[in-house]
Structure 1
Amino acid sequence: MPPGVRVDPYLDFRFYVEIEGIVVAGFSDVSGLEIEVGTVEYEEGGRNGFTHEKPNRTSYSHLELEKGLTDSRELIDWMESVAAGRIDRKTVFVFLLDARGLPKWGWQCEAAYPVRYSAPDLQADQGAVAVETLELAHRGLSRMEVVGG
């Protein structure tokens, strides 16, 4: 990049979610795009004042998706299927869009399946959108740049 060229960061409200090739519109919040590498501490003989750490297991946070409740049954049907013992793992993509609305960055969650569904909180004195939440476990998270975005 040439010196003096300003590069603005991407805005976090421009995104969409794709589950197994189907764009699921209307998600208002996505969280849990996290990878953590645990460590194991060990002490070296002769260096009693210092503890070493080495990488251990990698863990992936659950992906949490929130969206306004609609007539679509895709997410609740998926959850009910898993609750009945039919684990249908799917690849989930979260795409961050640039200022033109084109995908620029993406996160891929492998072999995801629902582990929790929350129906909307209903409050008679509020005029808010009814929001449902789906929490997904998965086997791995990778970030990728979208070519042409």
Structure 2
Amino acid sequence: MVKDGSKQESAWPMPQFRFKVDLATELEGVGFQEVYGLDVENQIIDYDKADSHNFSTEKIPGIVKYGTIILKRGVFVNNYAFWMWKKEVTMNKVKRRTILINLLDESGETTMQWQLDQAWPIKITCTDLKSDGDEVAVDTLEIAHNGLTLTKS
């Protein structure tokens, strides 16, 4: 903070390791190890202009396509929230949620927030079990959604 109370812009990029995910469920407050897939792209349409003098196409934006969001978290005793949400998905019927992914600063305040609209689970991958392993058990949840917006900066 600067002396007049306004926030000073940082000269350094934000670190990626401090974030919070709000799934709008009882899982709020459970930390995630990784979040990735925050991408959006426009498909390209090659438009053939009839009045083109150089006989070439013009590239124009097409349908917007959103990436699948991947969430990884440690497995906790008697915590089945991922499974219960996935169980709600039936043929052509699903309980969709708004998910917020927050990038936090060193004081824990949200600096950026991505909002996933109409999100629902499409896949759960359980941890690999190995008798000679020493890693933490991690579940992976894949989420489809119909919109990705940056809602706070």
- What's the TM-score bracket when you normalise by the shorter of the two chains? 0.7 to 0.9
- 1:34 equivalent in structure 2: 39
- 2:140 equivalent in structure 1: 133
Task: State the 4+ residue runs in structure 1 displaced beyond 4 angstroms.
Answer: 83-86
Instruction: Name the SS for the 2:88 alignment partner.
Output: helix
Cα offsets for 1:12-67 (capped at 9, x unmatched)? 11001001265242200001111111111022334345321111100111111000
- 1:122 equivalent in structure 2: 129
Q: Percent identity?
A: 30
- 2:53 equivalent in structure 1: 47
Give distance in 1, aligned partners of 2:30 and 2:11.
28
The answer as to 2:110 corresponding to 1:103 is yes
Give distance in 2, aligned partners of 1:139 and 1:85.
15
Q: TM-score, normalised by structure 1?
A: 0.86
The answer as to 2:17 corresponding to 1:10 is no
The offset of 1:82, in angstroms, is: 1.0
Give distance in 1, aligned partners of 2:110 and 2:128.
32
Amino acid corresponding to residue 31 of structure 1 in structure 2 = Y
Instruction: Name the SS for the 1:47 alignment partner.
Output: coil
The offset of 1:103, in angstroms, is: 1.2
Alpha carbon RMSD of aligned pairs, Å?
1.9
- 2:152 equivalent in structure 1: 145
More strand by share: 1
Instruction: Name the SS for the 1:82 alignment partner.
Output: coil
The answer as to 2:58 corresponding to 1:56 is no
Cα offsets for 1:48-100 (capped at 9, x unmatched)? 45321111100111111000011211111101221576511011010000121
Which runs of no fewer than 5 residues in structure 1 stay unpaired? none
The offset of 1:140, in angstroms, is: 0.3
Q: TM-score, normalised by structure 2?
A: 0.84
- 2:74 equivalent in structure 1: 68
Instruction: Name the SS for the 1:101 alignment partner.
Output: coil
The offset of 1:119, in angstroms, is: 0.5
Which runs of no fewer than 5 residues in structure 2 stay unpaired? 1-8
Give distance in 1, aligned partners of 2:136 and 2:117.
30
